[in-house]
Amino acid sequence: MEVELKEMQDDLESLKQSLTDASLRGSVDKLQLHLERLTNLSKSGPVRRSKVKDMSAEVVDSNPYSRLMALQRMGIVENYERIREFSVAIVGIGGVGSVAAEMLTRCGIGRLLLYDYDKVELANMNRLFFRPEQVGMTKTDAAVQTLVDINPDVVLESYTLNITTVQGFETFMSSLRNKSFSPAKAGSGVDLVLSCVDNYEARMAVNQACNELNQIWMESGVSEDAVSGHIQLLIPGEIACFACAPPLVVASGIDERTLKREGVCAASLPTTMGVVAGLLVQNTLKFLLKFGHVSPYLGYNSLKDYFPTMEMRPNPQCSNVACLERQKEYIIAKPARDAAAKAKMEAEALTVEEIPLHADNEWNISVVDDVEIEIVGATSSDTLPEGLVRELPNADEQHPPPTESTAPFLDDLEDLKRQLEALNS
């Protein structure tokens, strides 16, 4: 584009030099001015950054990972660069899923799999991520269009399908099994599945797939009134699956699709969805990079700023056959797993050496016990210079109580007695 504009500029300049009529030269000047504006507009367009081969902790403005790698320098994460080895699947690219996808992309995740069947609408503009010019595009295509500009290092795979259909579920399962990104990885081809769907039927489809594949996943949701939400971790066999404790409406046998009324839609706040997406991705990073505590369940009530937590064990009478199989496997493997965890803790306890806190800090600050401080020849800060005395006693000094003689007191008493007798006579 820039080359073509430059050629047009040169042609106009040549034409201007060949003209003898001043009025025609004025017209050429106007054309050159318009062409110059177009050239400036083309230069001010979006600039895509090149791919970065290796993450670097170098603190320079041109390094997109410097602030992320700082977590490693500060001791929060042992090796942040490992994030490039992980694959995360996000089901549902709506108010929560789209923001979660953007956050993970900015964090430098290795591979993202995106699933949705819907299209971008103007009604979605109250949420984050999507833009008006993307209306009519599928949500997966619009997401890829935005995310590839943010971070070209991330491998993006989009699937425009409905996972609740037979064909869609089969495609969903096969894509999770695909290990082309990490051939040596055990289990499925992804490290974590994030469910960001808005209906129970889709959640049950994700639940079924993850139970069959023994795949760890996280579920998220926002309430219909848009003022509360939650996230939860689901480990097949260890933590209750979505079928272990179904919602009351589903347990009562009511079809949730009959609850939706024509012309009535759920409320939607970008603030609540942004908070839930942030909590979801924060726990995703903690789970993948092994730092901090990953909550089994974390709720959010924006009206009271309340964050409840709880943990649910699997139901031995769960209706999901795959869940029951995972429970049996977990019970059988539990003794060996507990023994290995105990041995690891004991080994770590033996190798722990006491070292001074911040031994190599640049401010030369050291931490010592007060009882170990013994400075020979030092004088107290309360000691006065030579020639000065205190007007009042020192409160820290111990003074023995005065021992006064009782003889003068008895003499005064006898004298007072004689005076009283003289007055009475």
Which active-site residues does the annotation give? 265
- Cα–Cα distance, 277 to 99 (Å, whole number): 6
Q: What is the dihedral of CA 5, 7, 11, 16, to 10 degrees?
A: 60
Provide CB contacts within 8 A for 96, sequence distance 6+.
196, 220, 221, 222, 229, 273, 276, 277, 280
Kindly report the three-state secondary structure assignment for every residue of 180-192: CCCCCCCCCCCCE
Residue 222 identity: V
How big is the CA angle at 275 (ends 274 and 279), to the nearest 5 degrees?
115
What is the distance of C-alpha 87 from the center of its chain? 16
Q: Which helix H or strand E contains 220, and what residues bound it? A: strand 217-222
Supply angle C-alpha 7, 11, 13, rounded to 5: 115
The burial of 246, by beta-carbon neighbours within 10 Å (0-12 exposed, 13-18 middle, 19 or more buried), is given as middle
Closest CA to 215 of 192, 184, 240: 192
| CB of 241 closer than 8 Å to CB of 323 | yes
Query: Distance between CA atoms of 252 and 304, rounded to whole angstroms?
Result: 30
Backbone angle region of 54, left / alpha / beta, with phi > 0 → left and psi within -120 to 50 → alpha:
beta
Return the structure tokens found at 122: 């103007």
Dihedral angle over CA of 258, 263, 269, 274, nearest 10:
50
